[in-house]
Amino acid sequence: MSERYDAIIIGAGIIGCCTGFELAKRGYRTLNVDKLHGAGYGSTAASCAIVRFHYSTPDGVAMARESYFHWLDWARYLGVPDDAGTARYVNTGCLVFKTDRNRQLREVMASLDELRVAYEELDADGVRALVPGLDTRSFGPPVGRDDARFGAPTGDAVSGAVYLPESGFVSDPQLSCHNAQRACEARGGEFRFHAEVTEVLVRDGRAAGVRLADGAALEAPVVVNVAGPHSSRVNRLAGVEDGMAIKTRPQKHEVCHVPAPGGSRFDVFGTIISDGDTGCYLRPEAGGHVLLGSEDPACDAPDWVDDPDDWDDGFSDRWLTQVLRVAQRIPDLPVPSRPKGVVALYDVTDDWIPVYDRSDLPGFYLAVGTSGNQFKNGPVAGQLMAELITQVEGGRDHDRDPVKLPLKYTRRELDLASFSRRREINRQSSFSVIG
């Protein structure tokens, strides 16, 4: 006998959990299914959980800015306590270096101006005053360790930077998913773990539910693909991939965990740094440490993975490359002899901009390609998916008349056509984890 729901969400990362929560708030009987053992143990757990606003389009800034206000008062957004504790937002500020690749942040600053987000332009002296100990010479464009130029400065000073005081990170990304799970359950939503989807059920030309590896058939007129690195596989199960101009693929990423420079108290006073000049980003971490990762410079070939269930989850020599790149900017950064951090798969679109959309199969919806740069947008992503589903199921033709989501705090409408499965590749994208 099958079980019936109003909506089944495949995935229980931050966006899957928030989608379930927002649909449950609207009265849907929801079920989140995830093949892992708990909420947030996939790509979300591997996220640095950075909350920042440096996107090049006003819609990108608006979505991040709107979500920021939810993270500021996360407990109020959820509305229910969690015995496991509540994830905290930690404000650090964010320093973003200007490079030719990010077009000297001209579009970013224009978008920040439109949204009235505070920032300060800095020259090299201003950067050193903000974060003492940084080497403000230019080292870019980034090159690999096998290049003779690696580690050598290419200019006396970087061209400048932008500092945004309202940026930070969420203390525990996996806990934030558990928080959203509990909030969803309080509204009647259900969760099922160790549950692998092996079939998308179709009846009368529309989605009708899913079948699990244990044979269980779960029925629902709405199915939402938020499966992270498995999203392309789920799309193929539903037969919708050919109707997508923007595709997704799993990509291996490594986040490094290293000690902070001795005596710097970087974990207490440090800021997030987005450094396209060296090709890396970093943020403070509790206990006197630094988390750092790659901004996917052009010299590094993407590490694509064919099978998200069969891949090398060990560290590669990229770990040392990333640490040494950051050590160019922070000369006192310790370089450990053994790698430590997180190796994970990210779900990546062709231009690193997510797809939030319906599909060519009625009742089957997409929230895919979100890894790496969409954690911060979890609350608003849940809201836009709930609005999209409600309107399309109510008869709106989203492909011809795109849904728009009113944003409460930023007081603008978010045009969901920006995230269409049928859109052209956005050539203004960074084509990196920055989005």
Q: How many whole angstroms separate alpha carbon 379 and alpha carbon 19?
A: 8
Tokens of residue 435, six digits: 């989005």
Domains of the chain: 3-85+172-247+351-419 (3.50.50.60), 89-170+250-349 (3.30.9.10)
Q: Tell me what pLDDT residue 235 has.
A: 98
CA 355 to chain centre: 12
Task: Tell whether the model's pLDDT for residue 334 goes beyond 60.
Answer: yes
Give the model's pLDDT for residue 429: 72
HSE toward the beta carbon, residue 290, CA cutoff 13 A: 28
Average pLDDT on 125-151 reads 95
pLDDT tens digit string along 408-422? 999 999 999 999 999
% the chain with pLDDT above 90: 88
Q: pLDDT value at position 162?
A: 98
How far is residue 406 from each of residues 67, 133, 325, 397, 411, measured CA to CA in Å? 13, 44, 41, 18, 7
User: 3-class SS at 61?
Assistant: helix
Query: Whole-angstrom Cα distance, residue 247 to residue 421?
Result: 8
Round the average pLDDT of the chain to a whole number and report it: 94
Instruction: Quickly count: other Cβ atoms within 10 Å of residue 307's Cβ.
Output: 8
DSSP-derived letter for residue 36 is S
* Contact of 421 with 246, CB cutoff 8 Å: yes
Give DSSP secondary structure letters for 158-226. ---EEEESS-EEES-HHHHHHHHHHHHHHTT-EEE-S--EEEEEEETTEEEEEEETTS-EEE-SEEEE-
Determine how many CB atoms are found less than 10 A away from the CB of residue 73.
10
The Cα 103–Cα 99 span in angstroms is: 6
Residues 90-99: pLDDT tens digits? 999 999 999 9
Q: How far apart are CA 19 and CA 33, in angstroms?
A: 12
Residue 247 confidence (pLDDT) above 90: yes
C-alpha to C-alpha distance for 7 and 422, rounded to whole angstroms: 24
- What pTM value is reported for the model? 0.95
The model's pLDDT over 380-401, given as tens digits with 9 standing for 90+, comes to: 999 999 999 999 999 999 999 9
How far CA 125 is from CA of 158, 163, 305, in Å, comes to: 10, 13, 42
Give per-residue pLDDT as tens, 17-59: 999 999 999 999 999 999 999 999 998 988 899 999 998 788 8
Q: Over the stretch 76-117, which tens digit does the pLDDT of each residue have? A: 999 999 999 999 999 999 999 999 999 999 999 999 999 999
* Residues near 400 by beta carbon (within 8 Å), at least 6 away in sequence: none
With vertex at residue 102, the alpha carbon angle to CA 128 and CA 134, rounded to the nearest 5 degrees, is 15
Label residue 425 by pLDDT band (50, 70, 90). confident
Mean pLDDT of 169-187: 97
Chain centroid to CA 293: 13
**How many whole angstroms separate alpha carbon 21 and alpha carbon 187?**
7
CA distance 109 to 121: 9
Q: Please, which residues have CB within 8 angstroms of residue 51's CB and are 6 or more apart in sequence?
A: 64, 67, 68, 71, 89, 167, 168, 169, 170, 376
Give the pLDDT confidence of 225-242 residue by residue, as tens digits: 999 999 999 999 999 999
In terms of DSSP bridges, do strands 168-170 and 161-164 run parallel, antiparallel, or are they unpaired? Answer: unpaired
pLDDT tops 70 at residue 245: yes
Q: How far apart are CA 226 and CA 29, in angstroms?
A: 17
Confidence class for position 192, pLDDT limits 50, 70, 90: very high
The residue type of 399 is D
DSSP letter (8 states) at residue 101: T
pLDDT at residue 55 in the model: 84
